[in-house]
Structure formats: C-alpha cells, structure tokens
Amino acid sequence: MILNTELEFKGNLFPTKIISYVKNRDTLTFTSENGVALQVTVVRDSVLRFRFTTTSVFEKDFSYAITKYASRGYNFLEVTEDDAFYIITTSKLICNISKTDLRSFIYDAKDKTLLCEDELGFHWEENYHFGGNIVKMSKTSQDSESYYGLGDKPTDNNLKGKRFENWVTDSYAFGKNTDPIYKAIPFYTALHHGKSYGIFFDNTFKTEFDFCQERRNITSFWAHGGEMNYYFIYGPAMSDVVANYTDLTGKPHEMPALWTLGYHQCKWSYYPESNVKEIANKFRELQIPCDAIYLDIDYMEGFRCFTWSKEYFPDPKRMVKELADQGFKTIVIIDPGIKIDKDYWVYQEGIENDYFCKRADGPYMKGKVWPGECYFPDFTNPEVREWWSDLFKELVEDIGVKGVWNDMNEPAVMDVPGKSFPDDVRHEYEGNHCSHRKAHNIYGMQMARATYQGLKKFSYPKRPFVITRAAYAGTQRYTSSWTGDNVASWEHLTIANVQAQRMCMSGFSFIGSDIGGFAEQPNGELYARWIQLGIFHPFCRTHSSGDHGDQEPWAFGRNITDIVRKFIELRYQLLPYLYTAFWKYASEGIPILKSLVLFDQEDRHTHHRNDEFIFGEKILVCPVNAPNSRGRRMYFPRGNWYNLWTDELVEGGQELWVDADLDSMPIFIKEGAMIPKYPVQQYVGEKIIDELKFDVYYKPGKESSQLFEDAHDGYDYIKGRYSFREFNLIGKEKELIIQQHKSGKFDAPYQTFKLELHGLPFKAAKVTIDKEGFICEEIVVNGETTIIVDKNFREVVITSL
C-alpha cells in the first residue's frame, strides 16, 4: 500500500477538538470530540510516549520491544493550559498539545528551541479489508534537519530524502538501497540546531518512514495496522538519545564471553569432520588467531535441526572436544523450519503439542526451506519457546556446542511470493492472538530469544552466545547479529561499514558482516581490506556461500595471509579495549561504534560522513574501500589524532590524505588516550596475561580512559567481581601525570602495567609513583619510553630533567 499524496488522500481522518483531559499520575489522556484519544506518558524527563486510539479505547498494552528493566521516573511534571494548548512541562521538555486537533509541539525546556513539531500530526485511514486502521504521523522537518538510524538499511548514514519500509525480508545478494532487508528497527534519531532527539515507533506491523522524500519539509511514518504508538526521546546529545533508546528496548542481558569477540571462521559448509579439522589445524599451523568455527546446514541429517549427519560427523562430541582442545568453540546453525517427517522426533513433539504455526482456516503453515516442506514453531507462544529452549540440551550440555546461529528466521520460505508466511497465518503473541501481519517482524526475534533461553539454561554458568539474522527493536537483549547475505564487491564493503554503524546507532552493537562477502568471490585485495574493516566490528566473522572458492585467511596467497594475520592479531591485542567498550554498551547503552555525527554532532562536517567511525571511544578508523589504493582521503573529527603506525600527530577538523598500502589502513588514536592491549594469542585464554600493556598517547591537557575486566565468562561480575579502572592523563610541558581510580572486586592475574609512552614532548628522566619518590624500573625500547608500574598505582608522574 503506497499512499502517495497523503494530503490529498480522501480517506484520511483527523482528530477534532479536545473535549476531555484526565491526568493519572504519569499519564495524561486527551479525548477529542470524534472519539480519538491521545495518551501522553512521561516515561522520563526526556522521554515521552504518545499513544493514539480512534475508538476511545486502547488495546491491551503489550510490547516485545520495551524491557521491564527500562528506567522510569521523572524529576518534574506540571500540566498547565492556555487558550490553545495543554502544556506539559518536565525538567527537560515542554510539550504543547493543541486543543483543536491533538497536534504536539515539543521544545527544549531550557532554551525553548522547537525540537519536534507535528505537521498534520496523527491521522488515519480506515482499512475495511484488514479490519483496522492505517495509522499515520507527519512532522515538519526543521531547518537543516538530518536523520539517522533505522537498523540495517544499506544506504548512506544520513537518511534525509529517502523513504523506507520495515518488513524483515530474506534478501540474498541485496544491493545498495535495497529495502527492506533483514531487520525492522523502527527507531531514528534526528538532528537540527545542534540538538538531537529520537523517535521509536513501537509498532510491529509493516511500518514506513519518509524523511522528506515525498514532501520536501515533511517527515512522516505510518503502519499498516496497530496503534500509533511512539516514544519521543530527547538528547540533546545524540549519544544520549541512543543510550536512552537502548535503555528502553534493553541492553544485552549479559556481557559476551570474551572469546565471542575473537575471530570467527565460517563457510557454507565445512564438512565432513576431516574438513573442519583441516581448517582448524591450518589456523594453528599458520598462527592466525581464531576462536570459533561454524557448522552450516550440512552438519545435520537431511537439514533436520537438532540432528547430526552420521556420515559426515559420526562422533560430534569427540570432534567438538578435540576442537576445544585446540582452542576452538564450535557453533552450529539452527533454522526455524522443522522438516515434515513422521519419524523425526522434533517434528513429532511439535505435532503432539500443537506447537506449529497455523493458517487462518486451521491447517499448519507449510513452507519449503532447506529440508523441503516444513512446519514452523510459533515462537510467539511462551510454551513453544520453553520447548524450543529444551531442544538444546543435547547440543550444548552433552556435545559441547558453545554457540548457536539462527538463520532464515524472517521467516524465510522458498519459492513463494513475498518469500515468507502469508498474512493470514495465526500467532499466539503472548495471549494476544493475531495474524502474521502483526507477528512477522518479531518472529525472528522470538526465535532468537527462545534459542538464547536454551543456551543460557544449558551453558550456565558460562554465558550464552547466539547469532540471529532477523531482528526487531529490542533483539539486542538476547543475541548478536550479522548483516545477512552480502556480496563480495567493493560497494558491499562500504555498505557493511555503514550498516554496522547504523545498527550501533539503533541500539544493536553486537553486529558484523560476512567478511569478504557471502555471494561471489573476493580477490585477495578485497578480502584483506574487508578484514581490516571487520576487525573493528563488534562481531568479526568470515563467511561465504562457499560455492565460488575458498575464503579462509590463507586462500589468497602468502602476501594476503600475512596482512590478514597482522590485522587479526591487532584485534586480539585490542580485546581488553573492545571488552571495555562492550561494558559501556551493556551497562550504559553507549554504542560500540560511533559514526562521526554521533561522536561530534556540533561539527556540521560530520553530518554527511559515512566511512570514518570511532571504534570504542578513542580509535578513529577509516577503511580503504576502493581497489588499487595506496591510501585515501578521510575526514578527521575535531581533536588531535596519532597515526597508529607512525605516531605522527594529525590535527582534526579537516579532510586529509592518508597513506595506506594494502598492508596498512588509516587508524588513529585520540590524543591523551590510554589503550590497553593483550599479547597476541591464538585464541582467548591461550595465554595467562602476566602483564597488561598500555599504549599511552601524550596530550597537553586532560583526557580520561577506562578499563573493564572480569573473568571473561560466567556471572561473577554481576556479583561485583569485576574491576573498573579510570585513568586520568594530564600532560604538561615537562610532566606527564597519570592518576588511577579503581573499583570492583576482581583481581586480574597480572601484577604490573607496562606503559608505553607515545608522543612525549620531553625526555623522561624521573618517574615518581604514589608520591613516595619511588623511582621505578624504566626501560627504553625502540626509542619509546616504557615504564613498568604496579597495577594498583594511584598516581604516576613522569618528569623531564
């Protein structure tokens, strides 16, 4: 359904004047003469929820996206009125509701900037066929307003001038601007006048967003059913908007085990067992770090989930154990389609308990996927999720599988129009029975949730690891994700970069792409450039469809192998840094990758940048995404940046050329940063870390850095057994001071830090620790000053002569 000229569309209906207003604690209800009711809930001082009904009665309030752990409560709330408006004031916002038509106008409470202004505001169109409304909202786009977010859209960072649809779709070999693809995350952030706010439209029906495409100054969104139900989230910092959205829809339930942040190797498919072993051995032989190896659908017996091919994997438990002895975790794929086969136990259980989705008229929903004709569990039923979670017992507890990869969960169906279930399929939806029109976008999310439940149950006390392809808002609570079936092309390298940034801006940071491309075959150069980008993605996995040739780090000749090794090694060195960034994400909702606009929204140059991003808080990265390059131009955000390779200092706020032959890439460290590094390991836990290295980058002035550590797996950190160290660096002309504040009960196995000083403008002559005049051991390596100090130091002062 495309509604082109909304304004002229005769079927649009609008609220009329307000005839009643009721306040019930944090919720204000305004009712119009024609029976439209608007509920405004003050979720927080900076978060308002708007909910409309056209029948005076609201549907039962239920959301898969909103977490019960979301922070609620405000400091100040006052409602006043004048002739034209009801005026809602919190400590952060002022929201005027027009008495004549329910339109809202939201202002910054402090400086009264108009942030978000309804144009037509809420309106709707009755849909006789669906038996509900198409609910719509339109807002006036402010001067120079830009838009970001919206999940996995494979397009430029800034969404202005474009229209999108959210309907999770199996999108083999999607291209730039293909829409929709695998994920539906109806959340965007907007930015104008230096201030940012977000809109989360929590509606699981097909939703559409138009950012000034149809009409130049109008942004609108609408859904093919359900309620107009959205959250307005104010910053003014974009990073706060994203953090608040992530708080609302949930942070990951736990930290990932550290090994999940290592390098993963995948292909469709490694089989039989001898092939898996060969791959594993080659990693160790060539000394290329790797933590996880994947089994795609061919490990199963005729693609039946929870079975093993006896021919290819006669003794999976032994194999998984042998891989584990070499430091590899085994991860297996599990799809939703359950083969119709009366001799197959999963099918039998599903039938006995009536767990599969049904068509409106009663028969089970039958569709073709890899195993042939299948039935599909209704993951929107909690009982089905419980059953599904128990199916993992043998895989995890007995065989020793460490992670599960959920694929095809859009749900994908082959050889049918729409590539998915028809609309009439019924779902339990936690007791709110509905059609597939409402459940489609959350089907994959609920599958990943059930899988997560199973892994958690049977891996405990280790942490679960799940990967999903389909997702709706909030899926980040349970699982990591990848961007689906991309293509081995230079354009797709660029797309992968923006998609990962966009997912991070949409509250979903544990994301990566199929490194090298899934469809078609990369050449060595493209593969190397993609690895360079991939090591900076929270989820780092090579995957390919496998039918065009090999895509392992050694598949492209020695030169490429050496480059790939060098970058994977860098990933492993940066693990404590990435783990700390993950901690900030899991505890505060701060995205792990920051697009430049999110890093510095005040600098207008950042509003249209795509390639550069900040990894964690301190590392500026810009992949080389064109063939035959010996470098590239890139924009440096404001501040000063050290070239990782040369220590040369670059002043930000300008675009510059950076050399980067194939064995290099533009990586810069923020001045003043302290970057923790582990030694290179072939897999997480291979070595006991006996000393933690920090690369310390001098800055005249102050900068703070952090380090989070714990046991790297398990749940002790929740009981306080973690350590959080905050470092303050203060650089002066002839002195460098580093102060440390530590909290938490975890004691790392090492005793000392090795501080390697970069860019020191003076020759260090004396080091004082904790004011006790203690002169520590000082060594000079390669002309750099390196100091070894006790890890619990409070203050280190390095002075010149």
Catalytic positions: 407, 410, 485
Q: From the CB of residue 128, how many other CB atoms can be counted at a distance below 10 Å? A: 6
Is the Cβ of residue 153 or residue 699 nearer to ligand GLC in the bound state?
153
- From CA 181, how far away is CA 166, in angstroms rounded? 8
Q: Say how many residues touch ligand GLC, by CB under 6 A.
A: 9
Nearer to ligand GLC, 89 or 513 (CB): 513
Report in angstroms how near the CB of residue 655 gets to ligand GLC at its nearest: 37
Smallest gap from Cβ 568 to ligand GLC, in A, equals 21
Smallest separation (angstroms) from ligand GLC to the CB of 338: 15
Q: Contact, 630 vs 661, CB < 8 A?
A: yes
CB closer to ligand GLC, 208 vs 407? 407
List 323, 333, 357, 404, residue binding ligand GLC (CB under 6 A): 333
Measure the CA–CA gap between 110 and 91, rounded to whole angstroms.
8
- Answer for which of 101, 202, 240, 296 binds ligand GLC (CB under 6 A) is 296
Burial class (CB in 10 A: 0-12, 13-18, 19+), 21: middle
Q: Are 518 and 496 in contact (CB under 8 A)?
A: no
Residue (405 or 613) nearer to ligand GLC, CB: 405
Is the CB of residue 634 less than 8 Å from the CB of residue 621? Answer: no
* Residue 165 and residue 127 in contact, taking contact as beta carbons nearer than 8 Å: no
Which CB atom, from 427 or from 543, has the smaller least distance to ligand GLC? Answer: 543
Residues numbered 535-574 forming contacts with ligand GLC, rule: CB under 6 A: 543
Q: Which is nearer to ligand GLC, 225 or 371 (CB)?
A: 371
Distances (CA, A) of 29 to 36, 80, 109: 10, 14, 22
Alpha carbon distance 131, 287 (integer Å): 62
In this complex, which beta carbon is closest to ligand GLC, that of residue 268 or of residue 642?
A: 268
Contact 13, 125 (CB under 8 A): yes
User: Are β-strands 12-13 and 114-127 bridged in parallel, bridged antiparallel, or unpaired?
Assistant: antiparallel
**Preceding peptide of 154 cis, ω within 30°:** no
Q: Which strands form 778-781's sheet, in the order they lie side by side?
A: 674-677, 692-697, 752-758, 784-790, 778-781
Smallest gap from Cβ 265 to ligand GLC, in A, equals 13
Q: What's the Cα-to-Cα distance from 579 to each of 108, 405, 538, 739, rounded to whole Å?
A: 35, 22, 9, 22
Query: Residue 486: helix, strand or coil by DSSP?
Result: coil
Scanning 403-467, the segments in alpha helix (DSSP H) are: 436-459
Q: Is 663 exposed, middle or buried (0-12, 13-18, 19+ CB in 10 A)?
A: middle
Q: How far is the CB of 407 from ligand GLC (least distance, A)?
A: 5
Q: Which CB sits closer to ligand GLC, 297 or 401?
A: 297
User: How far apart, in whole angstroms, are the C-alpha atoms of residue 425 and residue 179?
Assistant: 23
Interface residue with ligand GLC, options 109, 190, 242, 297 (CB under 6 A): 297
Q: How far is the CB of 416 from ligand GLC (least distance, A)?
A: 16
- Residue closer to ligand GLC by CB (options 99, 543) is 543
Whichever of 136 and 543 has its CB closer to ligand GLC, that residue is 543
Min dist CB 660 to ligand GLC, Å, is 30
Q: Classify burial at 763, counting beta carbons within 10 Å of its beta carbon; exposed 0-12, middle 13-18, buried 19 or more.
A: exposed
Here the tokens at position 670 are: 């923020």
437-496 residues near ligand GLC, rule: CB under 6 A: 469, 484-485
- Residue 519: CB minimum distance to ligand GLC, A: 9
Beta bridge partners of 20: 31
Minimum distance of ligand GLC from residue 417's CB (angstroms): 19
Query: In b/e form, how buried is each residue of 252-286, taking b as 16+ CB within 10 angstroms?
Result: bbbbbbbbbbbbbbbbbbbbbbeebbebbeebeeb
368: its two tokens: 């073709």
In the bound state, the residue with its beta carbon closest to ligand GLC is 268
Q: Is 374 in the site for ligand GLC (CB under 6 A)?
A: no
Q: Residue 332: what are its φ and ψ, rounded to 5°?
A: -120, 150
SS3 of residue 154 by DSSP: coil
Q: Is there binding between residue 407 and ligand GLC (CB under 6 A)?
A: yes
Q: Enter the tokens of residue 122.
A: 């809420």
DSSP class of residue 181 equals: -
Residues in 222-281 at the binding interface with ligand GLC, rule: CB under 6 A: 268
- The structure tokens listed for 641 are 């940046």
Query: What x-and-dash track marks residues 78-107 binding ligand GLC by CB under 6 A?
Result: ------------------------------
Closest separation between CB of residue 281 and ligand GLC, Å? 23
Shortest distance in whole angstroms from residue 516 CB to ligand GLC: 13
For ligand GLC, which is the closer residue by CB, 524 or 546?
546
Q: How far is the C-alpha of 397 from the C-alpha of 374, rounded, in Å?
A: 27
The CA distance from 304 to 371, in Å, is: 7
Interface residue list for ligand GLC (CB under 6 A): 268, 296-297, 333, 407, 469, 484-485, 543
